[in-house]
């Protein structure tokens, strides 16, 4: 079976391609290389020994999307990662986010709604919950007004899919990620932030390798045990495997509704200081950081209620925070060595 992975050379996308190939799927990748490189393609092949098909194209080009589906009319499922995902950038450049994240989704869905059967997995985010009132966060938690245009594109994207699924043969699963971290244990693929990392773990590993002087911890006056924010950090390989499980659910027609929603997290909350401690353990050296003011838009606490993912989807995380930090560190050292 041929599966389309858009953004398949990105961080989560590339790890998902590996897991799809491991399960015997034929993969075609669409990527415009705006936030990835062909080196990632080589990394995938180095791990699995299998060549995905790679189509370099920008999903903002409606005609390109149409041509793609004429050429690849045997796609059985689509996993849609391709999107811009930097929260801060989305605030300063909202139209880039609305055009890239939404027009690409619309053009994809316009092709899928023509099919007699279409299976669609959408990369969403726990950011749709904002600061949830009940923690751990279940899929029934109310959607809060988005804190950024990035978060808004995820909310609007979900609504578009729900509306289209009602009037087409499209079956969809929306996967709301918590905080993806780490890398494949081969260190052939991993997170490749462009410029100064906005996310915690790549900033930590770049500091550990000497690329950054110290980590600025954004606030330790939150109402949490050690005062720093709490998040649900999930190993990217666990997250990738969840996408294959979700896809197989649709291919095997096990879905109970036209659109299903699952929170993908470990169910464990870790504070910034706990993540730092974990890194010190795996790197074997003290870690330089400084407490500074809070970052605008940060929620105090967010971690997943995993009952539905475990009980209905039949997936749960297997890897610990420490294993994720060790894999992120091994990857950073490999990148440095290149
Ligand atoms: C985690 C914690 C920061 C950097 C975002 C998006 C979310 C998803 C993951 C795409 C927070 C603290 C961070 C630093 C710090 N992205 N921190 N110093 O904000 O939970 O989620 O990325 O889907 O949608 O919202 O992740 O890694 O930026 O921050 O103290 O230099 O680390 O304050 O508490 P976040 P993050």
How far does CA 303 lie from the centroid of its chain?
Answer: 15
Residue ranges for the chain with pLDDT beneath 70: none
Distance 198 CA to ligand 1 centre (A): 7
Contacts of 146 (CB under 8 A, 6+ apart): 127, 128, 130, 152, 154, 155
Ligand 1 pocket, residue 168 CB under 6 Å: no
Quick one: pLDDT at residue 338? 76
Q: What is the rounded CA–CA span in Å between residue 1 and residue 14?
A: 18
**Please, what is the end-to-end C-alpha distance for the chain in angstroms?**
35
Q: Is the dihedral of CA 269, 192, 284, 184 positive or negative?
A: positive
Q: Which atom of ligand 1 is nearest to the CA of 126?
A: 24
Ligand 1 pocket, residue 198 CB under 6 Å: yes
Ligand 1 pocket, residue 179 CB under 6 Å: yes
Identify the three-state secondary structure at position 287.
coil
Q: Which two tokens stand for residue 63?
A: 């005609």
What is the model's pTM?
0.97
Q: What is the DSSP string of 254-282?
A: --SSSEEEEEES-S--EEHHHHHHHHHHH
Of 12, 13, 81, 87, the residue with max ligand 1 atoms within 8 A of its CB, to mutate for a pocket test, comes to 87
Going along the chain from its start, the domains and CATH numbers come out as 2-182+233-266+304-317 (3.40.50.720)
∠ CA(23), CA(29), CA(32), 5° rounding? 155
Q: What is the rounded CA–CA span in Å between residue 141 and residue 204?
A: 31
Catalytic residue among 129, 150, 222, 233: 150
Quick one: pLDDT at residue 258? 98
Helix (H) or strand (E) holding 121: strand 118-125
In this structure, what DSSP letter does residue 107 have?
Answer: H
Q: What is the rounded CA–CA span in Å between residue 279 and residue 260?
A: 35
Catalytic, 289? Answer: no
Ligand 1 pocket, residue 294 CB under 6 Å: no
Q: What is the rounded CA–CA span in Å between residue 24 and residue 1?
A: 8
Quick one: pLDDT at residue 37? 87
Distance 233 CA to ligand 1 centre (A): 10
């Amino acid at each position: 079976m041929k599966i389309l992975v858009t953004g398949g050379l990105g961080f989560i996308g590339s790890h998902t391609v590996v897991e799809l190939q491991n399960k015997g799927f034929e993969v075609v990748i669409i990527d415009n290389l705006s936030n990835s490189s062909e080196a990632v393609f080589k990394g995938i092949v180095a791990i699995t020994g299998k060549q995905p098909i790679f189509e370099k194209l920008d999903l903002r080009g409606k005609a390109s999307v149409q041509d793609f589906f004429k050429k690849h009319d045997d796609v059985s499922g689509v996993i849609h990662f391709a999107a811009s995902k930097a929260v801060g950038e989305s605030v300063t450049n909202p139209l880039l986010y609305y055009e890239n994240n939404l027009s690409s989704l619309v053009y994809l869905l316009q092709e899928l709604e023509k099919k007699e059967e279409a299976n669609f997995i959408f990369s969403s985010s726990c950011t749709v919950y904002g600061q949830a009132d009940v923690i751990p966060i279940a899929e029934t938690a109310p959607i809060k007004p988005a804190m950024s245009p990035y978060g808004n594109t995820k909310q609007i994207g979900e609504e578009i899919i729900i509306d289209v699924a009602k009037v087409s043969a499209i079956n969809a699963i929306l996967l709301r990620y918590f905080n993806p971290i780490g890398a494949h244990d081969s260190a052939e693929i991993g997170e490749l932030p462009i410029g100064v990392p906005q996310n915690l773990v790549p900033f930590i590993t770049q500091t550990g390798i000497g690329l950054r002087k110290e980590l600025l911890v954004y606030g330790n006056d939150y109402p949490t045990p050690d005062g720093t924010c709490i998040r649900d950090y999930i190993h990217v390989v666990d997250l990738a495997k969840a996408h294959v499980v979700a896809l197989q659910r649709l291919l095997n027609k096990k879905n109970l509704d036209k659109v299903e929603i699952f929170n993908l997290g470990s169910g464990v909350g870790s504070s910034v200081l706990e993540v730092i401690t974990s890194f010190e353990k795996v790197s074997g050296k003290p870690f330089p950081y400084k407490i500074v003011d809070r970052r605008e838009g940060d929620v105090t606490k967010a971690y997943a209620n995993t009952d539905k993912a475990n009980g209905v989807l039949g997936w749960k995380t297997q890897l610990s925070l420490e294993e994720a930090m060790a894999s992120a560190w091994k990857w950073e050292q490999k990148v440095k060595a290149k």
